[in-house]
């Protein structure tokens, strides 16, 4: 019984390691991004989907970015509904919800556009350059939100938690953009 259990544990450990080991393809693609460790960490669990496919890599990175931005949007929206917000906090949150909503829209449009890059007969360069433009604007929207919380007047737990989430989203977005640029160049 005990050995069976141990064996099962070993097997599960092995499976977990096997499925989350970053491939060399993911590692080398991530090495030119601004946050390579985060890039490898976030993409490793999709290694079996990505394989060695540059399109799949970019699509996964973008989808991940969209999902992260969406959940951050929900968080910021929830914060905006808190009672007892200072007027300046409310104003910063209000602007941030607008910016992050734009960011989500652009990322979601980019993901659809990216899929067209793979369709034969479609103009790859045109579609990928749209993706580059929109993801880059999404990144700007995210920084604008963070900047809105820059003033000392807003110091406190709200500012800290919003800013740390926005930093994380911006890093994931920046990585996706750099993978997209790489994909465009190598195509």
Ligand X SMILES: *[C@@H]1O[C@H](CO)[C@@H](O)[C@H](O)[C@H]1NC(C)=O
Residue numbers of the site for ligand X (CB under 6 A)? 60, 63-64, 67
The token pair at 116 is 């067209």
Instruction: Please report how close the Cβ of residue 68 comes to ligand X at its closest, in angstroms.
Output: 9
d(CA 155, CA 32): 34
Closest distance of CB 150 from ligand X, Å = 30
Closer to ligand X by Cβ: residue 106 or 159: 106
Residue 37, by phi and psi: left (phi above 0), alpha (psi -120 to 50) or beta?
alpha
Whose Cβ is closer to ligand X: residue 50's or residue 139's? 50
Nearer to ligand X, 60 or 146 (CB): 60
Nearer to ligand X, 105 or 155 (CB): 105
Distance of closest approach, residue 63 Cβ to ligand X, in angstroms = 4
- Cβ-based nearer residue to ligand X, 63 or 143: 63
The answer to whether 100 touches 65, Cβ cutoff 8 Å, is no
Distance of CA 170 to CAs 65, 104, 114, 164, Å?
9, 12, 20, 10
Q: How far is the CB of 50 from ligand X (least distance, A)?
A: 10
Looking at residue 154, the DSSP 8-state letter turns out to be G
Extract the tokens encoding 169. 């989203």
Spatial separation of the C-alpha atoms in residues 50 and 44, rounded to whole Å: 9
| Shortest reach from residue 67's CB to ligand X, in Å | 4
Q: Is 172 helix (H, G, I), strand (E, B) or coil?
A: helix
């Amino acid at each position: 019984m005990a050995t069976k259990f141990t064996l099962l544990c070993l097997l599960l450990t092995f499976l977990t390691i096997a499925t989350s080991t970053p491939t060399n393809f993911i590692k080398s693609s991530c090495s030119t991004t601004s946050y390579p460790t985060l890039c490898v960490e976030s993409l490793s669990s999709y290694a079996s989907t990505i394989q060695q496919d540059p399109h799949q890599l970019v699509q996964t990175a973008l989808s991940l970015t969209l999902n992260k931005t969406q959940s951050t949007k929900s968080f910021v929206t929830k914060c905006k509904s808190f009672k007892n917000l200072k007027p300046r906090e409310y104003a910063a949150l209000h602007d941030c919800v607008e910016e992050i909503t734009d960011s989500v829209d652009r990322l979601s449009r980019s993901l659809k556009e990216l899929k067209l890059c793979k369709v034969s007969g479609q103009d790859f360069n045109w579609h990928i350059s749209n993706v580059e433009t929109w993801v880059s604007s999404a990144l700007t929207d995210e920084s604008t939100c963070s900047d809105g919380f820059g003033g000392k007047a807003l110091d406190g737990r709200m500012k800290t938690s919003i800013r740390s989430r926005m930093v994380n989203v911006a890093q994931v977005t920046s990585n996706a953009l750099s993978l997209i640029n790489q994909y465009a160049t190598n195509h």
